[in-house]
Each structure stands twice: as structure tokens, then as C-alpha cells.
């Protein structure tokens, strides 16, 4: 008999704690496996450039709600979710494999719509749909994404390379996807309770777009290369700016300081956050699904980075054991805590 009173809840460990637990005994047996667990992609060395491989899952009811998510947008987003991990290693995605678990309520036409979005994203980002699998499901729709890419050995960037005094940089802005989700959820509840048939999304098109059909700042990697900047560490922001910054610090054995007023937040994010009576920095730090880049660069590359349109410097890396803090405009320090995936799945 299963005695759950003596069992450990997954919630107690959280996402990253669970990953640490199930991978503690993973020991690569092949010399070509250069890096496997702990970064955004596995790194395989076939002899010339490095091959990057990553995989993701999207589950109906956890990662998306089909009440307000068009299948075409969902297919597009699935590709972005997969290739973002390749870009986060400073690599170039080349192939993607999509596996589906489909319940009987889905028609062929609905699958066609899903793949229309998949093909659109593949075309835009120069990625080939190279295979996958399909199977029946009793629980709705499940999407498995495997992305394959490559990077030249000298240009590989991992989470573990940040050093004290490195500058912390980001692309884009934060919190928009999370606030777009809050807006869609609010309208869904109005539909269910009050039978409001036309959702009120006016004035927040950017937020809804960030949630339903995100884009990835792949051009920034080209701009960094052209500017002669090689990041010392990098990660794609999918779990939340705070959580992913802490992952870099953990992997690099460092601390960090970021500044409240430097965290980029879009006007629509601030406006809707005000309606929800929350500080816009809260979703910016903890919202997740931003699909932006968070990376560190040497201090002497500051002037080069400041010339790049989509790059903003928000703080710096500190010594090991110094902790990670957000600095207020008045100089106050508040410890950064990870409240992304783990909090949302409590």
C-alpha cells in the first residue's frame, strides 16, 4: 500500500530540486558527451563543431489553455520554446522534432491548424521540421519538442562562466507574457461566470501577443558577434528573471546585484499591473515565459553593449557567498528569490 504520509511531495523539492535528485547519478559514458545536465542544451562533440540537443514538454492544462489559445499560435510557440534553449547556448538551431499525444476530441483539421503555426515558426527561424511521433492520449493534448543545433567550439556559452564584476545584461522587457496570461484568465472567468462572449483585450495587444505568440531575440546573438562580445554566461528567460538569474549564479558560484530602476518593463505591463494592484516588478521578476536572453559580459565590453539597441545592462555579478539582491532607488537591498515555475505549480 502507498503510504503517502512517509513520501516526499514534488512541491517540497521544486523543479530544480527534482532535476538535481533524478540526475545525481547521471555519468556520461561516451567521450562525445561534453555536457549533458545543468545547462539549456546537451552538448555533444562529434569532432568538429558542437552539436546541441534539447527537449521540452507542453501539457494542456499546465502550459496552455485551449479556451483562449489558438492552435496555430500554440504550434508557433512550441517551436519558440524548443529553439530558445539552443540560442541560449549561443548556438544556431537547425532541426526540430515534434511529438504529439492527442485525445479523441481533436479533429484532423485541428491538427492541421497546429502544424500551420509550427511551419510558420520553422520558416521564420530557419529550422527544419525533421520528424517526431504521434500517439493517442486520454488527457488532452501533449506536445514534446526536441530541438537540434550547433555552435563552434570557441563560441559555446554555458550558465557556469559568469565571474565577479561581469555585467548582467538582458534583451527586451519582462512581465508582459505573465500579465497577458492574467488578462486572458480574467476574461475566461468572465465568460464562464457572466457569459461575456467578447473579451475586452483592447489596449493590451502587446501583452496578449507575448503570451500567445512570442518571438525570440535571435538577432541579438548576431549583433553580439559583430560587436566582438562573447558572453561569459547565458540563459533564456522562461522561468522568470529572478529564477533564471539565480541559476546562473548557482552554476557560476557567484552572487549578483540588479537594480530596480534598470529592469525593463513595457508600458502595457505597468498599466495592467496597476489594474491588478501589483508592483510591475513582481511579474517582471517572477512571471516567466518571457523568451528573452539573460547573459553576462566582461566589464570592458560595457561600451560595446551600450551601443546595441536591444541590450540593457541591469546589474553586475559579485563574489561567491555574497548573495543575490535587487537594489532599490533608495539604495535598499532585497534578496532575490525564485518564485517562477515552483510558485505557479503550488
Total domains in the chain come to 2
Chain segment 162-219, per-residue pLDDT in tens: 999 999 999 999 999 999 999 999 988 887 777 666 677 889 999 999 999 999 999 9
Assigned domain for 164 exists: yes
Chain segment 191-206, per-residue pLDDT in tens: 777 766 667 788 999 9
**How confident is residue 229, by pLDDT bands cut at 50, 70 and 90?**
very high
Assigned domain for 22 exists: no
Put the strands of the sheet holding 292-297 in their side by side order. Answer: 233-237, 292-297, 167-171, 311-318, 255-259, 324-327, 333-335
pLDDT attached to residue 15: 61
Domain that holds residue 42: 36-155
For β-strands 233-237 and 292-297, DSSP reports them as antiparallel
Could you say which of 127, 155, 183 is where a domain stops? 155
pLDDT attached to residue 22: 54
Assigned domain for 212 exists: yes
Written as one string, the DSSP assignment of 69-85 is --HHHHHHHHHHHHHHH
pLDDT higher than 90, residue 262: yes
Could you say which of 105, 130, 155 is where a domain stops? 155
pLDDT higher than 50, residue 343: no
Assigned domain for 10 exists: no
Assigned domain for 202 exists: yes
Q: Are residues 165 and 142 in the same domain?
A: no
Put the strands of the sheet holding 142-151 in their side by side order. Answer: 33-35, 42-44, 50-59, 142-151, 92-102, 128-136
Chain segment 46-67, per-residue pLDDT in tens: 777 889 999 999 999 999 999 9
Amino acid at each position: 500500500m502507498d503510504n503517502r504520509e512517509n513520501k516526499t511531495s514534488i512541491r517540497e523539492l521544486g523543479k530544480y530540486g527534482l532535476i538535481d535528485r533524478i540526475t545525481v547519478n547521471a555519468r556520461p559514458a561516451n567521450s562525445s558527451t561534453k555536457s549533458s545536465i545543468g545547462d539549456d542544451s546537451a552538448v555533444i562533440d562529434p569532432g568538429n563543431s558542437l552539436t546541441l540537443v534539447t527537449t521540452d514538454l507542453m501539457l494542456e492544462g499546465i502550459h496552455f489553455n485551449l479556451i483562449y489559445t489558438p492552435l496555430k499560435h500554440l504550434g508557433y510557440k512550441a517551436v519558440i520554446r524548443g529553439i530558445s534553449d539552443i540560442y541560449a547556448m549561443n548556438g544556431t538551431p537547425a532541426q526540430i522534432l515534434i511529438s504529439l499525444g492527442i485525445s479523441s476530441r481533436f479533429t484532423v483539421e485541428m491538427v492541421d491548424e497546429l502544424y500551420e503555426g509550427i511551419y510558420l515558426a520553422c520558416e521564420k527561424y530557419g529550422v527544419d521540421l525533421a520528424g517526431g511521433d504521434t500517439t493517442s492520449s486520454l488527457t488532452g493534448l501533449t506536445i514534446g519538442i526536441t530541438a537540434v543545433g550547433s555552435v563552434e567550439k570557441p563560441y559555446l556559452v554555458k550558465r557556469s562562466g559568469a565571474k565577479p564584476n561581469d555585467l548582467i545584461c538582458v534583451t527586451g522587457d519582462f512581465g508582459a507574457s505573465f500579465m497577458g496570461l492574467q488578462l486572458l484568465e480574467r476574461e475566461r472567468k468572465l465568460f464562464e461566470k457572466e457569459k461575456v462572449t467578447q473579451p475586452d483585450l483592447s489596449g493590451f495587444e502587446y501583452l496578449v501577443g507575448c503570451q500567445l505568440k512570442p518571438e525570440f531575440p535571435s538577432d541579438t546573438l548576431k549583433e553580439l558577434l559583430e560587436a566582438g562580445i562573447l558572453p561569459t554566461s547565458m540563459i533564456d528567460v522562461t522561468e522568470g528573471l529572478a529564477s533564471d538569474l539565480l541559476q546562473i549564479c548557482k552554476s557560476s558560484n557567484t552572487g549578483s546585484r540588479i537594480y530596480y530602476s534598470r529592469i525593463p518593463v513595457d508600458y502595457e505591463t505597468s498599466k495592467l499591473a496597476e489594474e491588478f494592484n501589483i508592483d510591475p516588478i513582481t511579474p517582471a521578476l517572477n512571471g516567466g515565459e518571457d523568451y528573452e536572453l539573460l547573459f553576462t559580459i566582461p566589464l570592458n565590453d560595457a561600451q560595446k553593449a551600450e551601443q546595441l539597441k536591444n541590450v540593457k545592462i541591469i546589474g553586475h555579478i559579485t563574489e561567491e557567498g555574497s548573495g543575490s539582491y535587487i537594489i532599490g532607488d533608495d539604495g535598499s537591498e532585497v534578496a532575490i528569490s525564485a518564485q517562477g515555475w515552483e510558485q505557479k505549480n503550488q
